[in-house]
Amino acid sequence: MQRGIIHGFLGMVAGFGIAMAWLSIKPQLPSVDADSDASAGNAETGWVAHARDLTMPGNREYALPLNNPDTVPAEQANHVDDSDMVIGITLFGKARAYPWWIMSNFHVVNDTLMVGQQSKIPIMVAMCEQCSGSAAFIPTIPELSDRPLTFQICGVHNGTFEIADFQSQSRWHPFAGEATVGPLKGRRLTQIGSTITSWKSWVAKHPHTDVVLGSEGMRQRPHGQSYGASMGHAHMHPVFGNTSNLEDKRLASNALVFGLLPEPGQKPLAIPFELIESNFPLQIDHEGKSVLLIPSGEYGVSAFACEQAGEVLTFQVPSDASSSLLQDQFGNQWDEYGRRTAREEAVVNDGENQLRMLRGYLTEWYEWISAQPGSMIYQPAIK
């Protein structure tokens, strides 16, 4: 899949940006006769109502996105402390970190990752410091394969912020990467793996990473120091509480869960993060499908389908844990990104080297159950 993404972006027009997207695409707002609106004395219809609906009032300082931010290599990152939390991504061998305090000032980043000399991979990263949710995506759809969608916050819904794309003005859930309202309703972006961990831990594992640049002034902004905003914190701003399902008490409102988004015919599933941390590797059955949950960093989780070429793989920690992360029943070695790193000659040739990543994200229970009201909760079998 990743090779297909690379080929899809080879030859992208240099200098892609929001201004060029605007000139090339010009999204169509609902048609309205301004004079008829004025004569009717109603300023809340037509394009005015549409624009108002897509713009957060009085929150410009943190509702605008961060676009193509500057980065520096790890050895020049004097603006990041060892203990700073970052959102880390790796793609095609390239690693990048987004400091938590920068993300909390913008919440949405429209970025571009350079791979080699020619390939430009568009990325969208979203994070909410209130609900602890975050995710990263390739923001493209087939109709605009050479013009990635560009996002920003447009409101608050179901316990977190909501985003809209510039090109079609559809509304999206920021961590599911799915359009919920508008011309693109039902479309899904391709999710890429991400983790939240300390800068010290990220650099130790990815010494050649770069990191998004930010000033000390940005760190000192109110949103950079948001009160109580840490992973799984108990503080909840009323604006989020007022849009949330706080009645479902099966878990504590601020309990961290990994939400497994449903595939066709399935229900959504919440897996308490503490179970994933304390049961490594955690391989579960979800409605007849075997799912592998792998923790990454301090607050990262990736989910993978365990079926490979008609065979259901089972995983365990190998006796020589230094050589690989996990080993299947055939002796194949797998890393935390679901990639096979070694195999024995006796293994059936399935021609696959990558487990299929499943859609999901880490968040707090109240946000998950607000967005996925029919969710089940994983309960380990009693031995």
Residue 209: partners with Cβ closer than 8 Å, 6 or more residues away: 73, 74, 88, 95, 96, 97, 202, 203
Give me the residues of the chain with pLDDT under 50, please: 1-41, 343-351
Residue 190 backbone class (left: φ over 0; alpha: ψ -120 to 50; beta: rest): beta
CB 228 within 8 A of CB 234: yes
* pLDDT reported for residue 352: 66
Q: For position 18, what pLDDT does the model report?
A: 32
Structural domain of 277:
256-377
Task: State the alpha helices, DSSP H only, in 54-213.
Answer: 60-63, 100-106, 199-205
Q: In what side-by-side order are the strands of the sheet with 340-342?
A: 315-316, 326-328, 333-334, 340-342
Residue 231: Cβ within 10 Å count? 17
**Residue 133, pLDDT score:** 95
Nearest to 84 by CA among 214, 195, 200: 200
In a domain, 236, yes or no: no
Boundary of a domain, candidates 177, 212, 247:
212
Q: Are residues 266 and 329 in the same domain?
A: yes
How far apart CA 157 and CA 248 sit, in angstroms, is 17
- Domains in the chain, number: 2
What is the number of other CB atoms lying within 10 angstroms of the CB of residue 265? 8
pTM: 0.84
CA separation (Å) from 126 to 35, 82, 224?
39, 22, 15
**What pLDDT is recorded for position 336?**
87
pLDDT of the residue at 20:
37
Query: What pLDDT is attached to residue 234?
Result: 83
What is the Cα–Cα distance from 194 to 361, expressed in whole angstroms?
9
User: The tokens of 223 are what?
Assistant: 């949103």
Can you give the pLDDT at residue 243? 84
162 and 18 both lie in a single domain? yes
Amino acid occupying residue 174: P
If asked whether residues 196 and 77 sit together in one domain, one would say yes
Q: Torsions phi, psi of 239, nearest 5?
A: -65, -30
Do residues 146 and 280 share a domain? no
In a domain, 218, yes or no: no
Last residue of a domain, one of 157, 188, 212: 212
Would you state the pLDDT for residue 174? Answer: 97
Give the pLDDT of residue 42: 53
For residue 233, is it within any domain?
no
